[in-house]
């Protein structure tokens, strides 16, 4: 659209601008020039979620039941007990307090972004009715005539109508690191590529421009991207899913137990009211009331710790998400790189020199003594319009701000560092004329006086596109002397130019000429419009190339990510060559790994002839990405470990993130530009840059790197993994006390003993003594392997999984319950009630009218006296839980390491131990607690009842962790599951004998398990275990068994993968037979290795079978043990070939099967014994082959027969 058409469309004038009336009309029609803030959840909804979500709803139900029970008691009894009323009030208070606490924590974390909400520039310079005026940028309307200058932010999308050296920084929008020239001319059909559009929120870095506003607010390009961002569904974070999963588990257990024992109570003859009280007790005992508050505190503490390490967390749950990240999609400009152009290489004296591009100038330096370098540096200093801004003399050169474009800034800083003050050089060589760089000439030229007072010649210096500079040169400077520019030097120039360009660097050529004094005497009037001076036959001096270099810490950070199992993908809007060069520089593409293009160049073949899977690395252009199907995209992400996406659009970044998520990855996206914001929002965690990041990217992100350093992400990953580990420890610690809290109610209902532990006392544990130790685990230091293990699998490694429940409930919790009951029975016995008498005494014990209940020694007890003993038992049970929780919190310090290895350096945990002990003593001995909480003082000796159980917990867990450390697989504790590989080694052989013997070794530990015989004949018996061997049952716990048979040249004869849960016949058969085709020589020495893989299922097994194996494993194991009681005796034969084989080989101990595949597949094999026979039809082999299409070919399947009779 031409300028005239724009003026007609918006009823404006290119000189006078809009009238005030029109501007007011457009403002009323279009609204303010501001981005619509993303929708937010109302505060009352957030508060209600905290008050009625998660465990709170269960506690509300418990409180309502308490009030209901008290109301029934009040209606039916003259003097109702106030227990249920008090409990209802306490439960309601607990829910309200914890809900308010969680809400205020969330509200506090949501306010940290208020300082980043300046979405538009504050002021804009517009022309209305011919007058220039400063107005609030929100009042800018379509059709306004706007002026911008260097340093301004563009207030809206502008159609440029005039420009004077205007350049804008579009890096936040397009990813281009180089400033872009703005001019009135349309240069491209794509609005993002054309030069006559300046975009809202980008920066004008130099020059001036005037333009007409064409779009404002949400209608700008940035506004549309922001709208795209706000419309995305982000989904729940992994930790949110884990907490929800945990809540479902605990809620399910609480409801199931509560309803079960409610029904059981009614069946056992309890009244409806008593059954309701039991239900309340079960729910309160199951629900860890303080746990969600503990989780919130742990996340908050970690967020504060990360803020000190320059990682600002907006969303608390994002802390853990970063720890579970398996893929990082990182922007290049400003994230992996320094976001400043820097001179990287120079070519002079026919040699490439490497400049120092490090941030602290600690890198290698080149030879600066050459006369050619002095000339090159002089040209770079003089033919340069960039200057340092005033008042920065005390700052390091690289930290100083520069007025000028990125390339000239790079040259200015390079010369300032290498040769000293550029200003001094310019002062000595006064500029007399200049032709600025433009896209037509593609060079910049300036003419200067020389610094030698005796030399009256003028010095012409020129820089620009290397090929344009070379065309104007007839000589070249070598070692300070001019030499003719012959074909050899032109070829050397071309090679250097291609090499530097191939590194992704922007290359400039430099030349000069001392103008002859006779033609251009002192005071000559140089005309730069109608050029009246020589611009050819110049002397070529050299090349200088620039690049936005990687940050110093990034390569190490990428290496740490790789060692932590995290895949790093570069996603950038830059050119593929530049992107590839940076990717190699930072280690995203490892040294030695090739792309398809590299392989094609090495083999000198077309790219189309290279198999893409042969290349570990790949560089994908945005135009190619646009044509990829979803399947092709998935194939790229699955088969390439090192990936770079270049020239990508915001929508394509979204596609990349979604593709990674389809692979099951937890995706983190880093970026600083507006173009990164949709991907930041869609990712599992978005990480924006705090210094260079755009406002939209900061708003879309979950985390902000305050120092813009990619390396801080590694810190974030470690902190995220640490908080997951520590949350797991905290939950394990908290859940453990549920068992000693639940079992008293179960015994109370089922065994009819006086209640060992009251509901109020349970709340004292969950909200009192357990809180500080649980929170202290958030301060626990990382274990040694935290950054050496693979990212956790969200589907398998849950925050609360079967293993944690098994340890907390089934092991440690049971020991704690024993400690509590021991103290309970000790106190009862000391007061005269032996355990045998307590069974079935509940009805008489709780009978208010019974004031002469006899104990085991004939003493009579009134109701009030009995209740004092009962409440003393509650206190003792409470104290016993505190004592055993000492050991529990100590063992929860580590998941695998020994506590002795980890040490007791966590001061908060030590304080927590003292705090819970002091609180327990305070509640036990403080006057008035007998009325407030029904807690009575204890004898000092009663505190020691639980000490042996506390010690037992510590010793038991240390042994458990020792087994885990010896079994890195970690999921099975069977002794033979500690073995990774089982080897069958040939021990001796005798040519005259038909067999040789081997021993079975576990992990090369030389443990002899059983004697094996391997027969050397036409068919090899793989192994033959005696019936009494103890190894067979444990093969079943392996996820797959790989059997390989070698000859003495280490050539594999055959290999087979067996899936134990499906083909468990192999576990039951002691003479599994593999046939060889072709037949091995009788003189060949055979060795067989059998590998037990405990880590993962073969890729060819469908997921259904993986699930099936877990649920059938125990069932099949029972069958296995039953079948092992009778040793098998089986012979192999084929009904159709039996007689033939006997005639051919009457003395053979074993027989050879059919020799062709057709014979093998066309008949049934029969396993005969004295009692039964089993026919295996060809269908069996076909069905197995369909499951193992990649690991068990038909020919091998038909050679393998697994028998048992």
CATH code of the domain containing 867: 1.20.1110.10
pLDDT score, position 884: 97
Residue 721: which residues within 8 A CB-CB, separation 6 or more?
323, 324, 782, 786, 787, 792
Among 109-118, 337-346, 825-834, the range scoring the smallest mean pLDDT is: 109-118
Mean pLDDT throughout 168-189? 77
What is the pLDDT of the chain when averaged over all its residues? 75
Q: Return the CATH number at 390.
A: 3.40.1110.10
8 Å CB contact between 324 and 792: yes
Residue 1022 to residue 1024: CA distance in whole angstroms: 7
**Structure tokens given for 1127:** 């040793």
**Cα torsion at 992, 995, 1001, 1006 (round to 10°)?**
-40
Residue 44: which residues within 8 A CB-CB, separation 6 or more?
none
Residue 1023 to residue 140: CA distance in whole angstroms: 86
Residues 582 and 713 in one domain: yes
Between 976 and 229, name the one with better pLDDT: 229
Residues 744 and 860 in one domain: yes
Residues 985 and 1116 in one domain: yes
From the list 439, 505, 492, the residue with the least C-alpha distance to 468 is 439
Among 522-531, 781-790, 958-967, 1091-1100, the range scoring the smallest mean pLDDT is: 1091-1100
Mean pLDDT throughout 1047-1075? 37
Between 982 and 839, name the one with better pLDDT: 839
1131-1134: strand order across its sheet: 1131-1134, 1165-1168, 1173-1176
Phi, psi dihedrals of residue 694, rounded to the nearest 5°? -75, 160
Mean pLDDT throughout 469-476? 94
Does residue 59 carry a pLDDT above 70? yes
pLDDT score, position 910: 94
In this structure, the number of other CB atoms found within 10 A of the CB of residue 1197 comes to 19
Does residue 751 carry a pLDDT above 60? yes
pLDDT score, position 241: 77
Residues 995 and 1096 in one domain: yes
Among 175-184, 489-498, 562-571, 845-854, the range scoring the smallest mean pLDDT is: 175-184
pLDDT score, position 477: 95
Does residue 978 carry a pLDDT above 50? no
246 within a domain of the structure (yes/no): no
pLDDT score, position 945: 95
Q: In sequence order, what DSSP letters do the residues of 979-1047 get, joined into one string? A: -SEEEEEEEE--TTSSEEEEEEEETTS-----EEEEE-SSEEE-----TT-SSHHHHTTSSEEEEEEE-
Phi, psi dihedrals of residue 154, rounded to the nearest 5°? -70, 125
CA 835 to chain centre: 55
Between 780 and 367, name the one with better pLDDT: 780
Residues 664 and 761 in one domain: no
Residue 463 to residue 540: CA distance in whole angstroms: 10
Name the catalytic one among 331, 356, 708, 770. 331
Mean pLDDT throughout 795-816? 86
Between 488 and 82, name the one with better pLDDT: 488
Most confident of 276-280, 934-938, 1049-1053, 1168-1172: 934-938
Residues 497 and 566 in one domain: no
pLDDT score, position 38: 66
Mean pLDDT throughout 293-316? 78
Residue 315 to residue 294: CA distance in whole angstroms: 17
Residue 146 to residue 271: CA distance in whole angstroms: 83
pLDDT score, position 52: 84
Mean pLDDT throughout 72-86? 77
Interior CA angle at 471 toward 467 and 474, to 5°? 130
Between 999 and 492, name the one with better pLDDT: 492
How sure is the predictor about 429, in pLDDT bands with cuts at 50, 70 and 90?
Answer: very high
Does residue 742 carry a pLDDT above 70? yes
Residue 971 to residue 245: CA distance in whole angstroms: 20
8 Å CB contact between 399 and 691: no
277 within a domain of the structure (yes/no): no
Burial code (b: 16+ CB inside 10 Å, e: under 16) for 912-941 equals bbebbbebbeebbeeeebeeebbbbebeee
Residues 419 and 479 in one domain: yes
Does residue 1135 carry a pLDDT above 60? no
38 within a domain of the structure (yes/no): no
Rounded to the nearest 10 degrees, what angle do helices 863-891 and 711-736 cross at? 150
Q: Return the CATH number at 670.
A: 3.40.50.1000
99 within a domain of the structure (yes/no): no
Which of residues 934, 963, 992 is at a domain's end? 963
How sure is the predictor about 1090, in pLDDT bands with cuts at 50, 70 and 90?
Answer: very low
pLDDT score, position 906: 92
Mean pLDDT throughout 107-128? 59
Mean pLDDT throughout 28-48? 82
Residue 374: which residues within 8 A CB-CB, separation 6 or more?
419
pLDDT score, position 177: 59
Q: Which residues pair with 669 in a beta bridge?
A: 329, 686
Residue 241 to residue 321: CA distance in whole angstroms: 11
pLDDT score, position 156: 92
Does residue 83 carry a pLDDT above 50? yes
Does residue 1134 carry a pLDDT above 60? no
Rounded to the nearest 10 degrees, what angle do helices 813-830 and 947-966 cross at? 170
780 within a domain of the structure (yes/no): no
How sure is the predictor about 464, in pLDDT bands with cuts at 50, 70 and 90?
Answer: very high
Which of residues 898, 928, 963 is at a domain's end? 963
Between 1069 and 944, name the one with better pLDDT: 944
696 within a domain of the structure (yes/no): yes
Active site residue 852: no
The residue range of the domain holding 185 is 3-30+116-219
How sure is the predictor about 313, in pLDDT bands with cuts at 50, 70 and 90?
Answer: confident
Residues 539 and 557 in one domain: no
Does residue 113 carry a pLDDT above 70? no
Mean pLDDT throughout 1050-1064? 39
Among 53-57, 528-532, 651-655, 1095-1099, the range scoring the smallest mean pLDDT is: 1095-1099
From the list 857, 836, 833, the residue with the least C-alpha distance to 845 is 833
pLDDT score, position 1059: 39
pLDDT in tens, 622-662: 888 888 889 999 989 988 989 999 888 777 888 999 999 99
pLDDT score, position 1143: 36
Total domains in the fold of the chain: 5
How sure is the predictor about 538, in pLDDT bands with cuts at 50, 70 and 90?
Answer: very high
pLDDT score, position 144: 92
What secondary structure letter does DSSP report for 788? Answer: T
Residue 860: which residues within 8 A CB-CB, separation 6 or more?
851, 852, 853, 854
Mean pLDDT throughout 1126-1140? 32
Among 34-38, 163-167, 550-554, the range scoring the smallest mean pLDDT is: 34-38
Among 12-26, 429-443, 685-699, 1186-1200, the range scoring the smallest mean pLDDT is: 1186-1200
Interior CA angle at 193 toward 189 and 198, to 5°? 110
594 within a domain of the structure (yes/no): yes
779 within a domain of the structure (yes/no): no
pLDDT score, position 235: 61
Most confident of 69-78, 129-138, 854-863: 854-863
8 Å CB contact between 1120 and 1061: no
Between 194 and 176, name the one with better pLDDT: 194
Strand pairing category for 131-136 and 145-149: unpaired
Among 149-158, 797-806, 1135-1144, the range scoring the smallest mean pLDDT is: 1135-1144
Residues 979 and 907 in one domain: no
Does residue 1201 carry a pLDDT above 60? no
Mean pLDDT throughout 940-965? 93
Token pair 């902000």 in the structure block, residue: 704
Which of residues 963, 991, 1022 is at a domain's end? 963
Residues 522 and 556 in one domain: no
pLDDT score, position 390: 82
Mean pLDDT throughout 814-832? 96
Strand pairing category for 567-571 and 327-330: parallel
Residues 212 and 330 in one domain: no
Residues 710 and 853 in one domain: no
Does residue 268 carry a pLDDT above 90? no
Does residue 730 carry a pLDDT above 80? yes
Quick one: what percent of the chain has pLDDT higher than 70? 75
pLDDT score, position 1199: 30
């Amino acid at each position: 659209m031409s300028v005239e058409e724009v003026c007609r469309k918006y009823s404006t004038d290119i000189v006078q601008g809009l009238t005030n009336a029109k501007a007011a009309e457009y403002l009323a029609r279009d609204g303010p020039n501001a981005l619509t803030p993303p929708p937010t959840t109302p505060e009352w909804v957030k508060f209600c979620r905290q008050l009625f979500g998660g465990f709170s709803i269960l506690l509300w139900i418990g409180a309502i039941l308490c009030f209901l029970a008290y109301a029934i008691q009040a209606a039916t009894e003259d003097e109702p007990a106030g227990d249920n009323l008090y409990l209802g009030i306490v439960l309601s208070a607990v829910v309200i307090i914890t809900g308010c606490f969680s809400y205020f924590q969330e509200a506090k974390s949501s306010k940290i972004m208020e300082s980043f909400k300046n979405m538009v520039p504050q002021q804009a310079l517009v022309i209305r009715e011919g007058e220039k005026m400063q107005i609030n940028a929100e009042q800018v309307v379509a059709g306004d005539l706007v002026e911008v200058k260097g340093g301004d932010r563009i207030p809206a999308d502008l159609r440029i109508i005039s420009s004077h050296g205007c350049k804008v920084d579009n890096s936040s929008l397009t990813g281009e690191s180089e400033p872009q020239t703005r001019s009135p001319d349309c240069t491209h059909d794509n609005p993002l590529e054309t030069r006559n559009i300046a975009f809202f929120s980008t920066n004008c870095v130099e020059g001036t421009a005037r333009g007409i506003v064409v779009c404002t607010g949400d209608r700008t390009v940035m506004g549309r991207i922001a709208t795209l961002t706000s419309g995305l569904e982000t989904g729940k974070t992994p930790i949110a899913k884990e907490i929800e999963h945990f809540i479902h588990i605990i809620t399910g257990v609480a409801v199931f137990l509560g309803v079960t024992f409610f029904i059981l109570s009614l069946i056992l003859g309890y009244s409806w009211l008593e059954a309701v009280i039991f239900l309340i007790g079960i729910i309160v005992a199951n629900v860890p009331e303080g746990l969600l508050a503990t989780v919130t505190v742990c996340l908050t503490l970690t967020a504060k710790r990360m803020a000190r390490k320059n990682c600002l967390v907006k969303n608390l749950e994002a802390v853990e998400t970063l720890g579970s990240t398996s893929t990082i999609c990182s922007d290049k400009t400003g994230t992996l790189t320094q976001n400043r152009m820097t001179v990287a290489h120079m070519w002079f004296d026919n040699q490439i020199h490497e400049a120092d591009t490090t941030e602290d100038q600690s890198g290698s330096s080149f030879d600066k003594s050459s006369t050619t370098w002095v000339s090159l540096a002089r040209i770079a200093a003089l033919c340069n319009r960039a200057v340092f801004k005033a008042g920065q003399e005390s700052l390091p050169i690289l930290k100083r701000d520069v007025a000028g474009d990125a390339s000239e800034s790079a040259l200015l800083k390079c010369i300032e560092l290498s040769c000293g003050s550029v200003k001094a050089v310019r002062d000595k060589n006064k500029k007399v004329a200049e032709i600025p760089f433009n896209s037509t000439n593609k060079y910049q030229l300036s003419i200067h006086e020389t610094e030698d007072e005796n030399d009256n010649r003028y010095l012409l210096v020129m820089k620009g596109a290397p090929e344009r500079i070379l065309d104007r040169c007839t000589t070249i400077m070598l070692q300070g002397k001019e030499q003719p520019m012959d074909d050899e030097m032109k070829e050397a120039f071309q090679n250097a130019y291609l090499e530097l360009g191939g590194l992704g660097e922007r290359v400039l050529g430099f030349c000069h000429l001392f103008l002859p004094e006779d033609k251009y005497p002192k005071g000559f009037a140089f005309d730069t419009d109608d050029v009246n001076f020589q611009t050819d036959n110049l002397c070529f001096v050299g090349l200088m190339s620039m690049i936005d270099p990687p940050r110093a810490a990034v390569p190490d950070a990428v290496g740490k990510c790789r060692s932590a199992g995290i895949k790093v993908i570069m996603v950038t809007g830059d050119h593929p060559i530049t992107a590839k060069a940076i990717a190699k520089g930072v280690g995203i593409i490892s040294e030695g790994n090739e792309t398809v293009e590299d392989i094609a160049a090495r083999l000198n073949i077309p790219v189309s002839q290279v198999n893409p899977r042969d290349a570990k690395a790949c560089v994908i252009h945005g135009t190619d990405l646009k044509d990829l199907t979803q399947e092709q995209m998935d194939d790229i992400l699955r088969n390439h470990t090192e990936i770079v996406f270049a020239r990508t659009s915001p929508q394509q970044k979204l596609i990349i993130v979604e593709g990674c998520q389809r692979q099951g990855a937890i995706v983190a996206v880093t970026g600083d530009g507006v173009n990164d914001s949709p991907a930041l929002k869609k990712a599992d965690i978005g990480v924006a840059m705090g210094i260079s990041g755009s406002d939209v990217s900061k708003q879309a992100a979950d985390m902000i790197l305050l120092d813009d350093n990619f390396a801080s992400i590694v810190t974030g990953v470690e902190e995220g993994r640490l908080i997951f580990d520590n949350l797991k420890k905290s939950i394990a610690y908290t859940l453990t006390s549920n068992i000693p809290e639940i079992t008293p109610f179960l015994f109370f209902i089922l065994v009819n003993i006086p209640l060992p532990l009251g509901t109020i006392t349970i709340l004292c544990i969950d909200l009192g003594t357990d809180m500080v130790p649980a929170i202290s685990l958030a301060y626990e230091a990382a274990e040694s392997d935290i950054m050496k293990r693979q990212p956790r699998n969200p589907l398998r490694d849950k925050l609360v999984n079967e293993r944690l429940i098994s340890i907390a409930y089934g092991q440690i919790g049971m020991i704690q319950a024993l400690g509590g009951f021991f103290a309970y029975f000790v106190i009862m016995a000391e007061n005269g009630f032996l355990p045998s008498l307590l069974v079935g005494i509940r009805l008489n014990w709780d009978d208010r009218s019974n004031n002469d209940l006899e104990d085991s020694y004939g003493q009579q007890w009134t109701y009030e006296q009995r209740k004092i003993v009962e409440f003393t038992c509650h206190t003792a049970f409470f104290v016993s839980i505190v004592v055993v929780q000492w050991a529990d919190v100590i063992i929860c310090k580590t998941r695998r390491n020994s506590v002795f290895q980890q040490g007791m350096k966590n001061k908060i945990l030590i304080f927590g131990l003292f705090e819970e002990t002091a609180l327990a003593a305070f509640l036990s001995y403080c006057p008035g607690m007998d009325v407030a909480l029904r807690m009575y003082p204890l004898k000092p000796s009663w505190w020691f009842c639980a000490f042996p159980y506390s010690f037992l917990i510590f010793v038991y867990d240390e042994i458990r962790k020792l087994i885990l450390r010896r079994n890195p697989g970690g999921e099975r504790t069977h002794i033979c599951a500690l073995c990774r590989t089982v080897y069958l080694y040939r021990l001796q052989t005798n040519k005259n004998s038909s067999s040789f013997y081997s021993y079975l070794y576990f992990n090369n530990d030389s443990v002899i398990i059983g004697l094996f015989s391997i027969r050397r004949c036409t068919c090899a018996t793989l192994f033959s275990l005696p019936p009494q061997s103890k190894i067979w049952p444990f093969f079943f716990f392996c996820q797959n068994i790989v059997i390989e048979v070698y000859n003495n040249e280490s050539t594999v004869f055959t290999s087979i993968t067996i899936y134990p849960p499906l083909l468990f016949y192999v576990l039951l058969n002691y003479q599994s037979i593999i046939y060889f085709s072709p037949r091995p020589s009788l003189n060949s020495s055979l060795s067989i290795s059998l590998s037990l893989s405990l880590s993962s299922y073969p890729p060819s097994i469908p997921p259904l079978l993986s699930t099936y194996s877990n649920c059938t494993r125990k069932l099949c194991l029972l069958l296995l043990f039953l079948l092992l009681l009778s040793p098998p005796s089986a012979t192999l034969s084929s009904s159709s070939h039996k007689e033939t084989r006997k005639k051919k080989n009457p003395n053979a101990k074993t027989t050879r099967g059919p020799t062709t595949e057709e014979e093998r597949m066309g008949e049934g094999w029969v396993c005969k014994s004295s009692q039964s026979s089993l026919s295996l039809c060809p269908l069996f082999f076909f069905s197995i082959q369909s499951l193992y299409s990649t690991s068990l070919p038909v020919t091998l399947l038909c050679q393998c027969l697994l028998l048992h009779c």
